[in-house]
A and B are shown apart, each in its own frame.
Chain A
Amino acid sequence: QKEVEQNSGPLSVPEGAIASLNCTYSDRGSQSFFWYRQYSGKSPELIMFIYSNGDKEDGRFTAQLNKASQYVSLLIRDSQPSDSATYLCAVSGGSYIPTFGRGTSLIVHP
């Protein structure tokens, strides 16, 4: 059973701070890693993906992957109240079937 673990939160950060969201996975053969953002009452939206060890940056978002530790994280710099949402980590082993974690709720307060 492939598992993706996330702390459900909520993670509360002040506006302008860095939010750090973490995810661990059980399948060592996992190859593709995704972060989806889900606003309350809305459907998930893909915001970042990473395939190789290291960092990948896109605007205020940075995805970090450490395959040896089976750990992937998402950093949000200069957090804004509009970033308040649930962030879902998804992991795929090359079968094109992503497994999702339960998500971490992020609250950015002014």
Chain B
Amino acid sequence: EAGVAQSPRYKIIEKRQSVAFWCNPISGHATLYWYQQILGQGPKLLIQFQNNGVVDDSQLPKDRFSAERLKGVDSTLKIQPAKLEDSAVYLCASSLEDSEKLFFGSGTQLSVL
């Protein structure tokens, strides 16, 4: 069974530039999460999708972050413009509907210079 796919694996940008991350969940997983993990901290939820609908985006900085899951399968997270404090690993996770057991992708390590 294929796991959660994420790309790119690494990204280096300058502040005020834009960046996008892509995630393809495990086949059949209705729920998709984007987490931000800053070095030395636990993952912090940015947004949760159930199929193509947003369940929770209360911690997403909507002035610069956006995310979509148009067809209820893969998802894109965008940051525009990036700030230095956005340097982190962006983790995508998926789960079966009504399950809280998360399966994580390999993450995208973002460095904002």
Chain A: residues with CB nearer than 8 A to chain B? 4, 6, 8, 32, 34, 36, 42-46, 49, 88, 90, 92, 95-103
Contact = CB atoms under 8 A, between A and B. Distances in A.
B41 A102 contact: yes
A27 B36 CA distance: 22
Given A44-B102, A46-B101, A97-B56, 16 more contacts: A4-B42, A32-B100, A34-B102, A43-B91, A43-B105, A43-B106, A43-B107, A44-B91, A46-B102, A46-B103, A96-B55, A96-B100, A97-B55, A98-B100, A100-B42, A102-B41
B31 A96 contact: yes
Nearest to A44: B104
Q: Give the top 3 A-B pairs by smallest Cβ distance, nearest first.
A: A100-B42, A43-B104, A102-B42
B24 interface: no
15 contacts: A34-B100, A34-B101, A44-B104, A46-B101, A49-B101, A88-B43, A90-B102, A96-B48, A97-B45, A97-B48, A98-B45, A99-B45, A101-B42, A102-B40, A102-B41
A100 B44 contact: yes
Contacts of A45: 104
